[in-house]
Amino acid sequence: MSELSNLIFHNKSNYISSPYGPRKSMNTSKGKTSSFHDGVDYATYSVKLAQYPVTDGVVLSCGTDWAYGGAKYVWVKYDSLGVKMLHYHLDSICVKKGQAVNKNTVLGYTGKTGRATGIHLHLGLKKLSGGGYIDPEKWWRENPSVGSPTSPRKSEKPSSGKKYSPGNYKVTKANVLNVRSGPGTKYKKLTFKQLTTDAQEKIRKITGKEVNGYVKGIKFSVKETALNWGRTPSGWVCLDYCEVRK
């Protein structure tokens, strides 16, 4: 069991049956082989458990990998996390390419399609910025703020599921709203000095102090949105704590 797999299986029983990394050599008809396991395997005690997205995302692709024995798979892209995840060996697929998904969408059911000896999920993970497969468990541990369902951040949620449009906004539901370097809680918080001089002036005017973030009452423009995050002149903020200004 891991926090990551518990999100995917909605806390139904599972265990890591094979971690990411070099695999022990195996005896085959061709002699000893060793290989690199480019994902994590989670076994589900032979139960075809439903698999869910870890947060809001979009189905990048899904289908059957005929090059690998007919394995059924789904790729989910998470803009707020900066990664995409591969769910492999599914028994069945319940989503379509391009579909918006959330924590309660069944992506498919755990199976053993393709070259698998038992029912399990092979989970692959790649960064949206490029590069090959990385260790999903290690990535999850190193980005603890990305999606813990039990301990949402006080002033930010990974995603509310709401969508916003560019425009003018005002902070109304938080005393101090973090401004981040990207659209999600995994990105760095900006300090007062890193905000635009315009924002610094407004914060000083409202509070009389230097505060690391947008304070309640501050008005700002949003040029671009990603789920419930908006890009302001200083950086990204969670728009769930703001109101549209007309």
Q: Which residues bind Zn ion (CB under 5 A)?
A: 39, 41, 122
Q: Which is nearer to Zn ion, 136 or 158 (CB)?
A: 136
Q: Which is nearer to Zn ion, 39 or 108 (CB)?
A: 39
Minimum distance of Zn ion from residue 36's CB (angstroms): 11
Q: Which is nearer to Zn ion, 88 or 187 (CB)?
A: 88
- Residue 129 CB coordination number (10 Å): 7
Minimum distance of Zn ion from residue 105's CB (angstroms): 23
Q: How far is CA 80 from the centre of its chain?
A: 6
Q: Which amino acid is at 191?
A: T
Q: Which is nearer to Zn ion, 39 or 235 (CB)?
A: 39
Q: Name the residue with the smallest CB distance to Zn ion.
A: 122
Minimum distance of Zn ion from residue 4's CB (angstroms): 15
Minimum distance of Zn ion from residue 58's CB (angstroms): 24
- 3-state SS record for 185-205: CCCCECCHHHCCHHHHHHHHH
Give me the residues paired with residue 243 across strands. Answer: 170
Minimum distance of Zn ion from residue 39's CB (angstroms): 5
φ, ψ for residue 108, nearest 5 deg? 170, -175
Residues whose CB is less than 8 angstroms from the CB of residue 154 and which lie 6 or more positions away in sequence, other chains included: none
Alpha-carbon distance of 242 to 173, in angstroms, equals 6
Alpha-carbon distance of 19 to 40, in angstroms, equals 5
Q: Which is nearer to Zn ion, 82 or 114 (CB)?
A: 114
DSSP 102-140: -TT---EEEB-TTT-SSSEEEEEEEETT--S-B-HHHHH
Minimum distance of Zn ion from residue 229's CB (angstroms): 32
Q: Which is nearer to Zn ion, 39 or 213 (CB)?
A: 39
82 in the Ramachandran plot: left (φ > 0), alpha (ψ -120 to 50) or beta? left
Minimum distance of Zn ion from residue 22's CB (angstroms): 13
CA distances from 118 to 63, 69, 163, 234 (A): 20, 14, 40, 50
Q: Which is nearer to Zn ion, 39 or 184 (CB)?
A: 39
